[in-house]
Amino acid sequence: MTSSRLARLPSRAVIAVAGPDWRSFLQGLLTQDVDSLAPGELRFSGLLTPQGRLLYDLFVAGLPDGALLDVAAEHRETIVARLSMYRLRAKVEIGPIDLAVAAAFDPAGAPVTGEGFYADPRLPALGARVYGPASEPDADETAYEAHRLALGVPGPADWLSDKNYPIEADFDLLAGIDFKKGCFVGQETTSRMKRRGTIKNRMLPIVFDGPAPAFGAEVLAGELRAGEVLSGSDGRAMALLRLDRIEGADLTVDGRPVRVDRPEWVPQAPAAG
């Protein structure tokens, strides 16, 4: 692990879920399969609206007697409240827990392993998540976010609650949706988009010279709208793009030329397959 880095992620917080019904409870809500989650395993998932739009991303970390939910810190209280709303008669305990969240990653993209490390299920190059006490960090969240952006992986800064569909945010390509698990909140719309291939937009990285355009800046293909800029930094940003308008097109933002830098893990075909 000589080349790996450890970054604390203050933007993330943890919820503990336990009780006899914790598996069946989460199984009926989240986009990812929980029934087969093993202790020490991490799965990427989402909590959707009944209409299938993405409310919150989360990681589910398996424990011997329950699970940890790794969520956006700013939404933790809201997520606890929303999960509690669904609890009804289920024998499940839900509440915040004081655990630090960290990411261990190799800037070169090699997988990272270690005791207490949960391998990131999205891409091996993203490394691992660590919960609770760990070695002193030698990197900050900005460094980790730069690593994620370099891999072309969208993050919470790229979607707004109840705006995007999870497939638009590449959840289907990043092990965030199990299409075989059965029902979950928002399942009907999500499965229909996958089955019919009606995926018109995806989050993809764009590259350019100079500082990142403003969030929401329009991406143009000639005079046609091709999408909008999301989060980014100098030279690189994520964008929500119309797949039918970006292939072979000369794209611009605020009059500046931009180029789509399609990651290897994103298929060339417009629809997810």
Contact 103, 128 (CB under 8 A): yes
Gap between the terminal Cα atoms of the chain: 35
235/254 Cα distance (integer angstroms): 14
Answer whether residue 264 shows pLDDT above 70: yes
- Residue 2, pLDDT score: 52
- Residue 271, pLDDT score: 42
User: Is 248 domain-assigned?
Assistant: yes
Q: Name the domain count of the chain.
A: 2
Contact 151, 105 (CB under 8 A): no
21/194 Cα distance (integer angstroms): 30
User: Residue 131 has which token pair?
Assistant: 């919960």
The upper half-sphere exposure of residue 268, i.e. CA atoms within 13 Å in the direction of its Cβ, equals 2
Answer whether residue 31 shows pLDDT above 90: yes
Answer whether residue 269 shows pLDDT above 60: no
The residues, ordered by sequence, that sit 6+ positions from 16 with a Cβ below 8 Å of its Cβ are 66, 67, 68, 69, 93, 94, 95, 96, 97
User: Is 163 domain-assigned?
Assistant: no
**Pair 142, 214 in one domain:** no
**Pair 143, 207 in one domain:** no
User: Residue 55 has which token pair?
Assistant: 């409310």
User: Residue 94 has which token pair?
Assistant: 């839900």
Q: In the predicted model, what is the mean pLDDT of residues 42-70?
A: 97
Phi and psi torsions of 156, nearest 5°: -55, -25
Contact 214, 251 (CB under 8 A): no
91/18 Cα distance (integer angstroms): 9
Phi and psi torsions of 37, nearest 5°: -65, 125
**Pair 111, 241 in one domain:** no
User: Is 85 domain-assigned?
Assistant: yes
Render pLDDT for 143-171 as a digit per residue (tens, 0 to 9): 999 999 999 999 999 998 899 999 999 99
Render pLDDT for 246-259 as a digit per residue (tens, 0 to 9): 988 899 999 999 99
Mean pLDDT for the chain overall: 94
Residue 108 structural domain = 5-158
160/156 Cα distance (integer angstroms): 8
pLDDT: is 215 or 198 the higher one? Answer: 215
CATH number for the domain harbouring residue 225: 2.40.30.110
251/245 Cα distance (integer angstroms): 9
- Residue 270, pLDDT score: 46
- Residue 71, pLDDT score: 98
Answer whether residue 1 shows pLDDT above 50: no
- Closest Cα to residue 78, out of 43, 124, 47, 109? 47
